[in-house]
Amino acid sequence: MTTTLDFSDVRNWLVDPRTDKGIRFLGDGGDWDYHSYADLSLAARRSAAAMTAAGAQPGEVVCLLMPTSYPTLCAYFGAWAAGLTPCMITPPSLTSSTEYVELVSSILRRARPVLMITTERHQDIADSALAAADLPGRAFLHREAEEPVEVPKAGPDDLAILQFTSGSTGVPRGVPVTWQNLAVNVSCTRAWSDWSEDDSVASWLPLYHDMGLVGTLLAAVCSQADLWLMQPAQFLRDPGRWLECMTRATITAAPPFAYEYAVERIAAERIASWDLSGWRTAFVGAQTINPAVLDRFVQATAAAGFDRGTLTPAYGLAETTLGVTGTDHGAPPLAVQVRPDTLRFGQRVELTRQLHLGAEPVPTRNGWLTGCGGPRLGTRISIVDQDGVELPPGHLGEIRVSGETVTAGYTNDADSGGTRFAPDGLHTGDAGFLHAGQLFVLGRMGDSLKVRGRNVYVEDLEAAVVEATGLSPSRCVVISAPETERAGVLLLVEGGRRGWEESAYHTLRSRLGVEPRIRFAVGNRGLIQRTTSGKPRRRGMWQRLQEGTLKASIVEPEVPA
């Protein structure tokens, strides 16, 4: 019987920490460094004292640019202990410092942190970002003061954390999460995993990502459960270290690519040497879930006693704190095959087959989708048409979410892209349908797509195509065109095929990676539908593509030699 947490429970560990449970951090030598919740609480209260001494006042925001480590958690929860709202910043990767400073300063301008906490490694770049955001002061190097603070009280509507979702260039969107939002969402995670006091968590997910932060770190810490924490690079170098954790830990979460990556790279004998029969919940989310990938994971881990009912496909987003739906604990995932030509907005989706994972092999392609279960506690979902009118089960429409896990909206009126907060709930901008009591998610409608758990915005793709090809911005547009098992984009161009194809393909492929489908639609003037203010009607064009009424020749370019 899983108990729900209220807003004061999720922060109570700071004042009443356990000495017998804690967090293990993977060291570079393969050893685990253990800190109990009592250690973490004391270090957090000392870190809080250092932040307070530096001028931070309760209610203010602090940003953290730090890797997964014990000091990072001391600083993160130090912010809680000081009555501050922590916000993790994505570290640089494959980017010039100019581009990176621009990105971070746009976040800082919205978050308006009183401190930017970092380590020596990123001190200079943090200073540059503060200056670029016109914020006073220098980066604050994480440290602890001698005398710990007393943890102040907080109300249910005070802010617990601030998450940023990657928006289109220069427009990251801040999502403030209250203690009440957090308590409800962590309680949902506990309900999906049939949480008991003996459960423990393992994770390698980045802490600047909603699933890594809320779904694993905060779910474990707020419950004072044993937690094994790794850095993403440690997982990528040897994914076996993650699965090996699951011989002791009972709950984990990752995008589907990680389950595939793990079984592709770990020798079968090594997997067979483990006992994975105690692994109770494996959340799968953050990108379209191809059931064939889950099937391969089940086959590869059968010798280790992994139970297919452990897999828990889930759907969620930062705007709803995190999880919205998940499958019933212990139930094997449900896969359905849809007729692709019936995936039309507002229409009934025709299913040709359905099966429970493990009953028979799932073909890799041919229109299969994985059921992501249903909501828990007070969360409600519905499928609505473009006017917000609820559609019957089995019809494709936009996923709408309401309940106390939905946050209040973006900070500073950030441009919301295709996701919209409304009085009747959050209009997610994701297309899906309900079947057999479960949510089936097709993906973003028109404006963005998920690539390995990361949001890619079509405006960014469009700008890059224009820059690379010299096509006029008024004559080309990129829309997201999701397929059942993978993401996809369509580049619409008014005019002819005159030598832009190779550079357009290359530009899109470099930003999307190898997986998503890339297609071109070339047609006459009028192909691109626009609003009276000149904005492309991406959702409308996506609908026409689905209906086969787009007046264009559609080609799928080959990889240029």
Partner 1 sequence: MDNAFDESTGYAIIAAMAPHPLPRVGAETHLRDDLMFDSIRLIELAMALERQFRLPALDLNESADLTTAGDVLNLVRRQLKTGGRA
Does 27 contact partner 1 by CB under 8 A? no
Which listed range, 70-78, 229-237, 242-250, 525-533, lies at the site for partner 1 (CB under 8 A)?
Answer: 229-237
Smallest gap from Cβ 239 to partner 1, in A, equals 11
Smallest gap from Cβ 151 to partner 1, in A, equals 31
Q: Report the residue from 35, 248, 452, 517 that binds partner 1 according to the rule CB under 8 A.
A: 452
Token pair in block for residue 370? 């994985």
Does 240 contact partner 1 by CB under 8 A? no
Q: Judging by DSSP bridges, how do beta strands 227-229 and 22-26 pair with one another? A: parallel
Q: Report the residue from 30, 514, 534, 548 that binds partner 1 according to the rule CB under 8 A.
A: 514
Cβ proximity to partner 1: between 125 and 336 the closer is: 125
Q: Which residue has the tokens 């979410």?
A: 401
Smallest gap from Cβ 513 to partner 1, in A, equals 6
Does 95 contact partner 1 by CB under 8 A? yes
Q: Report the residue from 509, 517, 519, 544 that binds partner 1 according to the rule CB under 8 A.
A: 509
Smallest gap from Cβ 549 to partner 1, in A, equals 33
- Convert residues 277-316 into a mask of x (bound to partner 1 by CB under 8 A) and - (unbound): ----------------------------------------
Cβ proximity to partner 1: between 276 and 487 the closer is: 487
Q: Which residue has the tokens 């550079």?
A: 503
How many Cβ atoms are within 10 Å of 131's Cβ, its own excluded? 15
Q: Judging by DSSP bridges, how do beta strands 281-284 and 311-316 pair with one another? A: parallel
Does 486 contact partner 1 by CB under 8 A? no
- Convert residues 407-446 into a mask of x (bound to partner 1 by CB under 8 A) and - (unbound): ----------------------------------------
How many Cβ atoms are within 10 Å of 331's Cβ, its own excluded? 16
| Helix/strand/coil for 149 | coil
Smallest gap from Cβ 144 to partner 1, in A, equals 23
Does 100 contact partner 1 by CB under 8 A? yes
Cβ proximity to partner 1: between 97 and 196 the closer is: 97
Q: Which residue has the tokens 């968590």?
A: 201
Task: Give the burial class of 540: count Cβ atoms within 10 A of its Cβ; 0-12 exposed, 13-18 middle, 19 or more buried.
Answer: middle
Which listed range, 341-349, 401-409, 435-443, 507-515, lies at the site for partner 1 (CB under 8 A)?
Answer: 507-515
Which listed range, 150-158, 335-343, 489-497, 506-514, lies at the site for partner 1 (CB under 8 A)?
Answer: 506-514
Could you give the dihedral angle defined by the CA atoms of residues 217, 222, 225 and 230, in that order, rounded to the nearest 10 degrees? 10
How many Cβ atoms are within 10 Å of 261's Cβ, its own excluded? 17
Does 557 contact partner 1 by CB under 8 A? no
Sequence-distant (6+) residues with CB within 8 A of 268 are: 300, 303
| C-alpha closest to that of 486 among 539, 434, 449, 432 | 449
How far from 208 is each of 91, 161, 260, 508, CA to CA, in Å?
9, 11, 22, 25
Per this entry, what is the length of the chain?
Answer: 561
Smallest gap from Cβ 212 to partner 1, in A, equals 14
Q: Report the residue from 261, 278, 328, 342 that binds partner 1 according to the rule CB under 8 A.
A: 261
- Convert residues 54-93 into a mask of x (bound to partner 1 by CB under 8 A) and - (unbound): -------------x-----------------------xxx
Does 510 contact partner 1 by CB under 8 A? yes
| C-alpha closest to that of 434 among 355, 351, 323 | 351
Does 97 contact partner 1 by CB under 8 A? yes
Q: Please answer whether residues 182 and 214 qualify as being in contact, where contact means their C-beta atoms are separated by less than 8 angstroms.
A: yes
Q: Judging by DSSP bridges, how do beta strands 334-338 and 159-165 pair with one another? A: unpaired
Q: Please answer whether residues 13 and 41 qualify as being in contact, where contact means their C-beta atoms are separated by less than 8 angstroms.
A: yes
Token pair in block for residue 377? 């506690």
Does 233 contact partner 1 by CB under 8 A? yes
Does 28 contact partner 1 by CB under 8 A? yes
Cβ proximity to partner 1: between 64 and 351 the closer is: 64
Report DSSP state, residue 156: T
Q: Report the residue from 23, 49, 125, 343 that binds partner 1 according to the rule CB under 8 A.
A: 125
- C-alpha R_g of the chain: 23
Smallest gap from Cβ 481 to partner 1, in A, equals 20
User: Tell me, what amino acid is at 90?
Assistant: T
Does 517 contact partner 1 by CB under 8 A? no
Phi and psi dihedrals of 143, rounded to 5? -155, 165
Smallest gap from Cβ 60 to partner 1, in A, equals 27
Task: Give the burial class of 486: count Cβ atoms within 10 A of its Cβ; 0-12 exposed, 13-18 middle, 19 or more buried.
Answer: middle
> Segment 321-360, which members bind partner 1 (CB under 8 A)?
none
Cβ proximity to partner 1: between 53 and 559 the closer is: 559
Helices (H), 358-457: none
Q: Please answer whether residues 417 and 429 qualify as being in contact, where contact means their C-beta atoms are separated by less than 8 angstroms.
A: yes
Q: Report the residue from 55, 152, 330, 513 that binds partner 1 according to the rule CB under 8 A.
A: 513
Smallest gap from Cβ 454 to partner 1, in A, equals 9
> Segment 355-374, which members bind partner 1 (CB under 8 A)?
none
| C-alpha closest to that of 59 among 202, 162, 169 | 162
Task: Give the burial class of 29: count Cβ atoms within 10 A of its Cβ; 0-12 exposed, 13-18 middle, 19 or more buried.
Answer: exposed
Number of chain positions touching partner 1 (CB under 8 A): 24
The binding site for partner 1 (CB under 8 A) comprises 28, 67, 91-97, 100, 125, 232-233, 236-237, 261, 452, 506-507, 509-510, 513-514, 559
